[in-house]
Structure formats: structure tokens, C-alpha cells
């Protein structure tokens, strides 16, 4: 285990003697008949689980996993979009002391194969649309199970689930006699893969204490109460839905309304039917909803990267800004749920984290200046424990005195507010998804005829940013072959990368602007690109 928590038994922290299982049990005992999870599929019936019935189902799934050989410390690959099954599995793995590994369902075959191998998954659960892919990529698992409905809640077509396939409903057993593990907040609980500045995504390992920190801190930051109804559309295999919506709502004793994904045409219908009061939003969602009239609703707050009065006025909702990442578990910078926040700002440093903003020479920026954001907290509580199986990447992400280098740049405003500025040059934000330029460049570089390439972000009206690639062809390539080279590059990217990572355009150029040491000057490349979308 990491040296950082070798003295964990000597540390006093908010979650001593507690784990995720304690939270589920506590809510079932105190809010048993209150609705916890409401499933709003696009096809099929709305389903409601109270806290008590949710706990019962989690225990049955845990017993089913145990009966199929899952034990404490095992890694279980869960390749699912938003669904009740994903929630049952996330908490059932916690009950067994297993580690749930949630992966992006838009991943390519190459990416998914890497995830399964990197985490040493012993089993996998997926949905009918992804079954063939998971079976082909998760080669070392003991078994693969499949849910019995499509992503939107619909019924699979005949033959879509092969005869003899293990159904999710078969992962069900009587929990009588299921061993209760001693509560240990330092026990590893979950892994999410996040893009970084290296060529491969890294598995961010959370402890049970991390999950509880996200639950409590999110509830406090958002001012949630047991009366709140949190509309959840973000993918729950990511941090935002997990520790900005689902776990904080459970901490507060409220209700989670889960949609398969964001749908502008269904948003208001679902929100009105369930009297939703809170939602984590993206500017993309808001821009899509601007095209519709706003009906009477119960929303009191939206959370976004910055509080935006134009959206507030249109929707009649008070927004608050926040910043966080998978490695920080919750919001490291956040607006105030009870006070007015300055428009278009991200917020102020959150309680429990140390924040510093540095110039390139590592001196602190002055108010009014922009610099590199670093954050510090206890590993395994406020900060992730480690990158799974990658001690070098873990060490390189922290300074010698324990500060995590986020790779983000923020502006320290004159009045103490902080505004998100941009990411380091090699990171893109595509419709809420983090994308490392180097991941795309690695694929492009392997295409025959490519001499050098650079991926940069192009501003996009709806998605914030999209990737585009500038390519210098090999000198011997005839100009007549440039169009074919662009087509082959896009084909390779579609085969090897998730769809949101595929470049929107390929620009064939003779040379690229250079900075020191002949490195490509990506800031100058970005200036060549107008906003699109």
C-alpha cells in the first residue's frame, strides 16, 4: 500500500469506523421508505427503489457476485451506461470489498482491452449493445454478464443476447449468511480511467474514504437536504455523477432521478414529473435547452463550471460554479450555495483542500493573474489514493511537498474568486470528456505517410472544444495523395479511439509554428482555427 497512508490508523479523520456500506445501511435505517433511486428510461416503465428496497437489491447482487467467486480485492469491470444495474453493482462490490472498475462505454476496442488488462479484471458486466466488444476485449475474465435491456431501457432484439449468455438477473442470491466486512475507510473501492498527458489513460483508485468524502462534501457544497431531488444525466461511470449527484444525495437522504443520458426533448418532462430540484449541467445541456420554452418547474440550482447569469435568467434557476477532477474526488473550487457569487466565476477554494496558483517559475501569481493550479489534501480521503499499478505516474503527479499538479490553469481574481482559464496545451475538454492530445497523436503517428502531427483544440459552440489534427506528411508523399492521407488518418482514429476523441478535421501542412527546442507551438495553431459547431 502507498507509503502515504502507512500511518492511517494514527490519523483522525471524519470517516474513521465508516465505509460506503455504513452509508447504505444508515440511509436504509433512517430513510427506509423514502424514494432513493428513480429510473426514467426512454423506453419502458419508470421504476422506483426506496432506500430500503435499494439496499435489499444491493445485498442480493453482492450475494450473487460472491456465489460466482468475487472476493475482497477482486476487480470487477462494469462497462455500462446509466442504469439501475450499474448502481446495484457499484454498491454491491463495496459490500464485498471488491473494486468496481467503471469504464466509458464510448471506448474503442483497443482502449477497453487496455482497461481490462491494466486492472486485472476477474469478471465483467455490460449491456447488450456492448456484449460482443467486452467478450472480445476482456480476454482474461472468468465470466461476462449482460443486462437484459438496452441502454434506453428498451427490449433487445431477438438474438441480440446469445442463448446461454449469463444474464444480470442470474447474479442474484439470498444474502443470508453474507459476511459483513469490518468498516475500513482506507479499503480500495473503485477505479475510473482518466485521460492524462501520457499516452495511456490512468486508473484513478479511490478508497471508501474517498467516496464518503465525495458524498459528504458534495452534499454540503450543494446545500442538499432530504427534500432534494437530483436529476442525474451525466454518465455515472464518471466522477461528476458519482460524487456531485448520486453519493451526495444519498448522504442527504434525498432522491436521485437517473436518465440514460441527457435528452433535451425529455428533460422537462422528467424534471416536472419528479419535481426535480437540482441538476449538474454542462453548457452544452443549457444551450440545447435554450431552444425550448421553459415550463413551470421545481429546480432551485444548477451546478456548472461557472455560474452563468444568462442561463439563470432564462431558466429561473440559480447556478453555482465548481471545479474538480477524478483525482480530487469532489469540488476543489466551488461557489457558495448560500451567498451570492460573482458572475462567470468558478468559486473559491473549498474547505478541506489547499489551493495554490503558480507562475511558470513556481512563484505565486498576484491577484488578477493566471497560473497553474495545484491542490493538496490527504491521499485516500480528499485526494485519490494512487494511479492503479502505476507508481511512476503517481509520483510524477505530485510535488515533493505533496501538491497535486492538476494541469489546469486558473485566474485569481482581484476579489479572491477563481475563474477557470484553460488546460495545459495537451488537454482538451470535449463535451465534458477529458481528452489527452497525446492519445490521438499516438494513433495518428502510426499511419503510413505521417511525418509529424499535432492535435489541438478547436472551440466548439456546443461541445466547448473538439480535436483537430495538423499533419506534416513524409517528404516523399505526392501532394495528390494528401486527401487520401487525411481519410486514412480519420479511419485509424475511428478504429482505435472513442468517438469523442476522433479529430473533426485533418489539416495537411508543410510546417508548423515552433517554440523553443523546436517544439510545435500549439497556441499558434489554435489561433488558426475559428469556432465551429
Q: pLDDT by residue (tens digit) across 275-308? A: 999 999 988 899 889 888 999 999 999 999 889 8
Which of these, 322, 285, 320, lies nearest to 300 by C-alpha position?
320
User: How large a percentage of the chain has pLDDT more than 90?
Assistant: 79
> Taking the model in full, what pTM does it have?
0.87
Residue 196 has pLDDT above 60, yes or no: no
Of the pLDDT bands very low, low, confident and very high (cuts 50, 70, 90), residue 3 is very low
Give the pLDDT confidence score for residue 533 in this predicted structure: 74
Residue 515 has pLDDT above 70, yes or no: no
Which of these, 129, 135, 170, 126, lies nearest to 150 by C-alpha position?
129
Residues 6+ apart with CB under 8 A from 111: 104, 201, 496, 497, 498
Q: How far apart, in whole angstroms, are the C-alpha atoms of residue 533 and residue 530?
A: 10
Give the pLDDT confidence score for residue 425 in this predicted structure: 60
Contact 490, 503 (CB under 8 A): yes
Q: How far apart, in whole angstroms, are the C-alpha atoms of residue 31 and residue 370?
A: 46
Residues 350-365 have a mean pLDDT of 96
Give the pLDDT confidence score for residue 289 in this predicted structure: 93
Residue 415 has pLDDT above 90, yes or no: yes
Reduced to 3 states, what is the DSSP secondary structure of residue 274?
Answer: helix
- Give 474's DSSP letter: P
Reduced to 3 states, what is the DSSP secondary structure of residue 111?
Answer: helix
**Phi and psi angles of residue 473, each rounded to the nearest 5 degrees, phi first:** -75, 165
Give the pLDDT confidence score for residue 481 in this predicted structure: 85
Mean pLDDT of the chain: 93
pLDDT digits (tens, 9 = 90+) for 85-112: 999 999 999 999 999 999 999 999 999 9
Of the pLDDT bands very low, low, confident and very high (cuts 50, 70, 90), residue 6 is low
Contact 319, 303 (CB under 8 A): yes
Give the pLDDT confidence score for residue 198 in this predicted structure: 52
Residue 2 has pLDDT above 50, yes or no: no
Residue 456 has pLDDT above 60, yes or no: yes
Q: How far apart, in whole angstroms, are the C-alpha atoms of residue 380 and residue 186?
A: 6
Fold type of domain 427-527 = GMP Synthetase; Chain A, domain 3 (3.30.300)
3-state secondary structure 335-386: CCCCCCCCCCCCEEECCCCEEEEECCCCCECCCCCEEEEEEECCECCCECCE
For the chain, where do the domains classified as CATH 3.40.50.980 start and end? Answer: 21-32+46-183
Task: Give the best-scoring range by mean pLDDT among 207-216, 276-285, 338-347.
Answer: 207-216
Stated length of the chain:
533
- Give 245's DSSP letter: I
Q: How far apart, in whole angstroms, are the C-alpha atoms of residue 62 and residue 294?
A: 42
**Phi and psi angles of residue 238, each rounded to the nearest 5 degrees, phi first:** -110, 170
Of the pLDDT bands very low, low, confident and very high (cuts 50, 70, 90), residue 1 is very low
Of the pLDDT bands very low, low, confident and very high (cuts 50, 70, 90), residue 199 is low
Residues 462-482 have a mean pLDDT of 90
For domain 21-32+46-183, which CATH number applies: 3.30.1330.40, 1.10.600.10, 3.90.1150.10, 3.40.50.980? 3.40.50.980
**Phi and psi angles of residue 76, each rounded to the nearest 5 degrees, phi first:** -115, 120
pLDDT digits (tens, 9 = 90+) for 379-407: 999 999 999 999 999 999 999 999 999 98
Q: How far apart, in whole angstroms, are the C-alpha atoms of residue 179 and residue 143?
A: 23
pLDDT digits (tens, 9 = 90+) for 133-188: 999 999 999 999 999 999 999 999 998 999 999 999 999 999 998 998 999 999 99
Q: How far apart, in whole angstroms, are the C-alpha atoms of residue 315 and residue 116?
A: 42
For the chain, where do the domains classified as CATH 3.30.300.30 start and end? Answer: 427-527
pLDDT digits (tens, 9 = 90+) for 48-89: 999 999 999 999 999 999 999 999 999 999 999 999 999 999
Amino acid at each position: 500500500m502507498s507509503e502515504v497512508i502507512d500511518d492511517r490508523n494514527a490519523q483522525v479523520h471524519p470517516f474513521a469506523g465508516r465505509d460506503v456500506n455504513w452509508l447504505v445501511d444508515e440511509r436504509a435505517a433512517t430513510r427506509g421508505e423514502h424514494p432513493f433511486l428513480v429510473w426514467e428510461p426512454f423506453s419502458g416503465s419508470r421504476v422506483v427503489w426506496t432506500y430500503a428496497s435499494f439496499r435489499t437489491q444491493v445485498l442480493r447482487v453482492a450475494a450473487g457476485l460472491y456465489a460466482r467467486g468475487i472476493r475482497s480485492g477482486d476487480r470487477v469491470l462494469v462497462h455500462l451506461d446509466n442504469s439501475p444495474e450499474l448502481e446495484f453493482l457499484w454498491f454491491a462490490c463495496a459490500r464485498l470489498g471488491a473494486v468496481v472498475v467503471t469504464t466509458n462505454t464510448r471506448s474503442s476496442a483497443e482502449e477497453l482491452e487496455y482497461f481490462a488488462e491494466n486492472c486485472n479484471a476477474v469478471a465483467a458486466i455490460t449491456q447488450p449493445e456492448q456484449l460482443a466488444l467486452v467478450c472480445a476485449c476482456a480476454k482474461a475474465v472468468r465470466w461476462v454478464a449482460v443486462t437484459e435491456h438496452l441502454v434506453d431501457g428498451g427490449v433487445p432484439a431477438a438474438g441480440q443476447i446469445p442463448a446461454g449468455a449469463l444474464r444480470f438477473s442470474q447474479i442474484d442470491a439470498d444474502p443470508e449468511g453474507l459476511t459483513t466486512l469490518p468498516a475500513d475507510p482506507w479499503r480500495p473501492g473503485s477505479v475510473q480511467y482518466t485521460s492524462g498527458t501520457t499516452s495511456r489513460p490512468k486508473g484513478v483508485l479511490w478508497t471508501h474514504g474517498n467516496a464518503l468524502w465525495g458524498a459528504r462534501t458534495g452534499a454540503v457544497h450543494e446545500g442538499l437536504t432530504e427534500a432534494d431531488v437530483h436529476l442525474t444525466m451525466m454518465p455515472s461511470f464518471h466522477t461528476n455523477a458519482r460524487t456531485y449527484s448520486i453519493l451526495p444525495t444519498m448522504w442527504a437522504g434525498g432522491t436521485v432521478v437517473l436518465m440514460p443520458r441527457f435528452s433535451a426533448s425529455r428533460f422537462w418532462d422528467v424534471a416536472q414529473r419528479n419535481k426535480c430540484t437540482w441538476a449538474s449541467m454542462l453548457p452544452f445541456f443549457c444551450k440545447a435547452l435554450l431552444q425550448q420554452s421553459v415550463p413551470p418547474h421545481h429546480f432551485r440550482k444548477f451546478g456548472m463550471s461557472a455560474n452563468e447569469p444568462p442561463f439563470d435568467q432564462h431558466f429561473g434557476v440559480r447556478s453555482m460554479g465548481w471545479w474538480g477532477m477524478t483525482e480530487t474526488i469532489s469540488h476543489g473550487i466551488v461557489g457558495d450555495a448560500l451567498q451570492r457569487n460573482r458572475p462567470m466565476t468558478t468559486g473559491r477554494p473549498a474547505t478541506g483542500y489547499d489551493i495554490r496558483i503558480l507562475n511558470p517559475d513556481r512563484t505565486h501569481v498576484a491577484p488578477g493573474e493566471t497560473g497553474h493550479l495545484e491542490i493538496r489534501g490527504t491521499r485516500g480521503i480528499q485526494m485519490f489514493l494512487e494511479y492503479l499499478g502505476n507508481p511512476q505516474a503517481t509520483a510524477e503527479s505530485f510535488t515533493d511537498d505533496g501538491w497535486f499538479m492538476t494541469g489546469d490553469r486558473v485566474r485569481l481574481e482581484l476579489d479572491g474568486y477563481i475563474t477557470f482559464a484553460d488546460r495545459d496545451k495537451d488537454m482538451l475538454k470535449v463535451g465534458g470528456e477529458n481528452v489527452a492530445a497525446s492519445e490521438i497523436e499516438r494513433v495518428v503517428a502510426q499511419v503510413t505517410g505521417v511525418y509529424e502531427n499535432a492535435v489541438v483544440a478547436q472551440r466548439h459552440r456546443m461541445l466547448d472544444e473538439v480535436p483537430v489534427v495538423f499533419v506534416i506528411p513524409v517528404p516523399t508523399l505526392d501532394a495528390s495523395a494528401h486527401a487520401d492521407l487525411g481519410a486514412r488518418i480519420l479511419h485509424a482514429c475511428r478504429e482505435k479511439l472513442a468517438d469523442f476523441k476522433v479529430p473533426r478535421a485533418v489539416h495537411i501542412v508543410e510546417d508548423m509554428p515552433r517554440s523553443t527546442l523546436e517544439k510545435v507551438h500549439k497556441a499558434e495553431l489554435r489561433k488558426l482555427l475559428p469556432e465551429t459547431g
